[in-house]
Amino acid sequence: MIDRYVETLSTYAKDIDNLILLIGVLVGFWFILCEVIFFYFIIHFRAKDGKRAEYISGEEKSHKRWISAPHLLVLVCDVFIVVGAVKVWYEVKQQLPEPYETVRIVGQQWAWSFVHPGADHELGTADDIKTVDELHVEVGKVYHFKLEARDVIHSFSVPVFRLKQDAIPGRVITGWFEPTGTGTYDIQCAEICGIGHGVMVARIVIESPERHAAWVAEQSPITLAAANRP
Amino acid sequence: MALNRNHVAMFALVAVSCFVVGCSARADENERGADLYRLCAACHGESAAGYEAVGAPAIAGLPQWYLEAQLKQFRDGTRGTHFDDIMGMRMRPMARMLMRDGDVEAVSAHVAAMPVARPAPSLTGGDADNGKAIYTATCVACHGADGVGNQGMLGAAPLNHSSDWYLFRQVENFRAGVRGARAGDQGGALMRPMVLQLADEQAIKDVVAYIMTLAN
Ligand SMILES: [Cu+2]
């Protein structure tokens, strides 16, 4: 339903959508019901000829029932929400599936920078590819990310993944995603971080294995250095 | 008759406000540039004298061609998109906020018309005499004896309006390839080999100390 408006492109995007939908429906149901009852009471018990509008202190049992019965029912709904939320939280944030590769993501005022591990799939080696504004990944592979911030708190957000993770100065936060389709999509900053926050955007390029390998080969600092040599 | 007096008063009021509005519109030819500059003032300061704490250099009075060229470089990613260009990445989004046609030109005209405001030197340990020798040997061909730059030389930057800490950082950036190393950056390609000739950090300090002696 939600994916009709914002594409879903990660393995866990649908789970998060379903959770949002569950919460939306339950809360929405009670919201509408309450409003209907409120307005019914307001109109029904309004002042009429020869009868004053009544002030109800809510101490009688028959009055209290209007509070306590919905209260219990809402608590039952909460159980569903908590169970659903904990399940999704565990799957998305607690467990870490074995990675194919790990990328470094660095937020700063006001840009996202990335370190790709390059052809050897190892971070911290000579063939690491550093970019600004563009993260390149391969479709259908599990990625871990190591998220850092250079100055203030930022939040790494990829709407099509339904992924959002705060980046905090002095900490390296690990997370994961697995893209399920190819294309180029938005990366945003989702935490007010200063005057340039609104334009702190980047792109994620999700490629087929062949195209990704070609990009890695082309961008490898080792190839680039060889090309620049006179 | 009271009604008539009110009419006259009303007419006078309207006439006066039209006059005031018309004058203030004429007072600043480049209203759009001034309006856009309010964003820049947050870092570069009201008088565009720069603000070292946020790394923003003095830009007041830089020639229009240079301002436009740099803003366009920031916008198209020639400048401010290197992994280690922390200060450039702060400036780039600001240039990207100049979105409408003519914004870059208007704000550049406004800044170019501001009186030069070069802050006093803050670096220490530079030997201006040695710097003069280096400058005359390596820099003068493009940046000129007075440091006023040369638009015809692929936009060689004017150096005589800038703060010393900023010049120092830019020379280091060019040396490290943090600035000027993007494919297609012709000015940068011209500039980088020149500063790579400087022997060490002391040589950079010396040449910057000499540039600070050039008249604004
Ligand atoms: Cu941010």
Report the residue of chain A nearest B94, measured CA to CA. Answer: A196
**pLDDT over 90 percentage in chain B:** 50
Q: Which tokens in the block code for residue A174?
A: 């690990």
Peptide bond into A110 cis (omega under 30): yes
Q: Note the pLDDT tens digit of each residue in B106-153.
A: 999 999 999 988 888 888 888 889 999 999 998 998 998 888 888 877
Q: What average pLDDT does this structure show over B180-190?
A: 87
Rg (CA), chain A: 26
pLDDT at position A4:
84
Average pLDDT of A77-101? Answer: 93
Helix (H, G, I), strand (E, B) or coil at A51: strand
- Provide the pLDDT for residue B25: 47
- A139: which 2 tokens? 């479709």
Per-residue confidence band for B29, with pLDDT thresholds at 50, 70 and 90? low
**Is residue A109 within 8 Å of residue B93, measured between CB atoms?**
no
pLDDT at residue A221, rounded to an integer = 82
A111-150 per-position pLDDT tens digit: 999 999 998 899 988 889 999 999 999 999 999 999 999 9
Q: List the single range of A41-45, A193-197, B9-13 with lowest mean pLDDT.
A: B9-13
Instruction: With CB atoms and an 8 Å threshold, state whether A133 touches B96.
Output: no
**Spatial contact of B93 and A189, defined as CB atoms under 8 Å apart:** no
pTM of the model: 0.85
**Residues B88-109 pLDDT 10s:** 999 999 999 998 898 999 999 9
B79: its two tokens: 């400048």
Bridge partners for B150 per DSSP: B156
Q: What is the pLDDT of residue B27?
A: 45
- The pLDDT of residue B207 is 92
Q: How many other CB atoms are found less than 10 A from the CB of residue A151?
A: 14
| Shortest CA gap B81–chain A (Å) | 6
Q: How many CB atoms lie within 10 A of CB A56?
A: 11
From B81, B83, B90, residue closest to A110, measured CB to CB:
B90
Alpha carbon of A200: minimum distance to chain B alpha carbons (Å): 7
CB contact under 8 A, B82 and A132: yes
Q: Which chain B residues touch A if contact means CB-CB below 8 Å? A: 39, 42-43, 77, 80-83, 85-86, 89-90, 92-94, 96-97
List chain B residues with CB under 8 Å of A154.
Answer: none
- Interchain pair A113, B83: CB under 8 A: yes
Q: Mean pLDDT score of chain A, rounded to an integer?
A: 91
Distances in whole angstroms, Cα of residue A71 to Cα of each of A68, A78, A85: 5, 10, 20
Min Cα distance A163 → chain B (Å) is 23
Which pair of structure tokens corresponds to residue A151?
Answer: 């100055």
Token pair of A166 as six digits: 């705060």
**Residue A230's pLDDT is what?**
47
Q: Which domains does chain B have, with CATH numbers?
A: 6-214 (1.10.760.10)
* CA closest to B96 among chain A residues: A199
Looking at the predicted structure, is the pLDDT value of residue A83 above 80? yes
The closest of A47, A103, A41 to A67, measured between CA atoms, is A41
User: Taking CB atoms and an 8 Å limit, are B83 and A200 in contact across chains?
Assistant: no
Measured between CA atoms, the residue of chain B closest to residue A151 is B86
Question: pLDDT band for position B1 (50/70/90)?
Answer: very low
Percent of chain B beyond pLDDT 70?
A: 87
What's the rounded Cα separation, in Å, for the pair A173 and A167? Answer: 7
Measure A157 CA to ligand 1 centroid, in angstroms: 10
The phi-psi region of residue A140 (left if phi > 0; otherwise alpha if psi is between -120 and 50; otherwise beta) is left
- The mean pLDDT of chain B is 85
Spatial separation of the C-alpha atoms in residues B31 and B41, rounded to whole Å: 15
Question: What percentage of chain A has pLDDT greater than the value 70?
Answer: 98
Which of A109, A132, A195 is facing B81, going by the closest CB pair?
A: A132
CB B41 within 8 Å of CB B132: no
**Interface ipTM:** 0.77
Partners of A51 in beta bridges = A48
Phi, psi at A184, each rounded to 5°: -115, 125
